[in-house]
Chains A and B, each alone.
Chain A
């Protein structure tokens, strides 16, 4: 399992990246997808996921549509044009971050 602290800083990027790969997703679907893709190493909690989704919506990066599915209301999230740009930017930023971290944490020769 990866610690919550590490996930928290990258959660926004993870969600944007997933939404870029799918036309639209709902909350539970995102948690399942992340869990499957990471082999259960990252489990998004309820408290972590929904605040970020709502913030992305408020920032105009995602739009939502609600549908009645199996007798309950389901809210789908999809990226806007700005959201797609932000997603690409976040991915690039994250790669840069990874390179820096790799460099920083590479084993030190004795």
Chain B
């Protein structure tokens, strides 16, 4: 086992132990998964992305992908990245986006003690108190029922320059989490198709089902390869463009794969009791967070148009 495998293995065990259907349902009712968060802190996972953690950023994103596979119901990527940029803290950090005089789309802003307010236009961030520190929070949620809150941006906050492509890191965190979530949804669909019997045989034996699942497997594999490629580009000059390609390609895969997953699962998958929706709703929500397909496609397309038709192939034929 490599150190990467060990890391994923121990993360996977914590995720599996503390992120079952009951925890997911409770989180959706607004109960923060304190036991999960404590377990992560006890095992040092909140420090995983710190510059001196000894863990490569690529491996950090692999763990974030695994968190997506488990639909981890807390702001995992945000807590890790906030610690990376703000310094060590066992207090829960989250990250929101400056929009006018507010900081919006803050995952679990109601519970976070620190909020990093990101102003991409200014190329800067500011540090705010979160709901956990007694600040007024306007509660909101995404399609998966995950808290996406807003706090007022106080006047006179201190802005500090961003030293890393924070927006791209956040987009990649969603991209890799979606790749993990897609793999889970494929596993669930394959399992269901092999178990569910109609007309006297498992529905997996029907060609119509087989072909839809084959199509889905292609999209899931493409999503994984695209997200991994962006992770591999961290630190390189193409990084933001690779994130653009990955976030948009994964987002397209979500549209196709989640639809097929539900079709295969039939009415069972449409019930709240079934676990499928915890994953598919997150996939639908995440593809719109930190830039959807259209946003990143335009970004990549503008770059390529400026390069020109005769350099298009050179850009595509990259070694990595």
Instruction: Please say whether chains A and B are actual partners in one complex.
Output: no
- The chain B residues found within 8 Å of chain A, CB to CB, are none
- The chain A residues found within 8 Å of chain B, CB to CB, are none
